[in-house]
Amino acid sequence: MAGPKRVGELGEELGVEQSLLSHHLRVLRDMGLLEARRDGKAVLYALAEGVEGAMAERSLDLGCCQLSFKES
């Protein structure tokens, strides 16, 4: 939510191995929740345009469930 990040940055913040995180990022990207763009050899991940606006309330309604995010 703080802007585009590389997989390594996200992994450090979340305490998740890069291979597992990459898998989950691909699923979120395939669902249209994330966008990915090349930055040299790295890939930057960011919330998709429509998702950014929905995140103003720090929660995301997926239809089947709602994800809420606490302030860091």
pLDDT of residue 37: 92
pLDDT of residue 35: 92
pLDDT of residue 50: 72
Q: How far apart are CA 29 and CA 7, in angstroms?
A: 13
Residue extents of the structural domains in the chain: 5-68
pLDDT of residue 47: 84
In order along the chain (72 residues), what is the average pLDDT of each group of 10 residues? 86 89 90 89 86 65 72 63
Extract the runs of DSSP E, i.e. beta strands, from 1-72. 5-6, 34-39, 42-47, 59-61, 66-68
- CB–CB of 59/69 below 8 Å? yes
Look at domain 5-68 and name its CATH class: mainly alpha
Structure token digits, residue 32 = 């249209």
Rounded to the nearest 10°, the torsion over CA 5, 66, 55, 1 is: -20
**Global pTM value:** 0.70
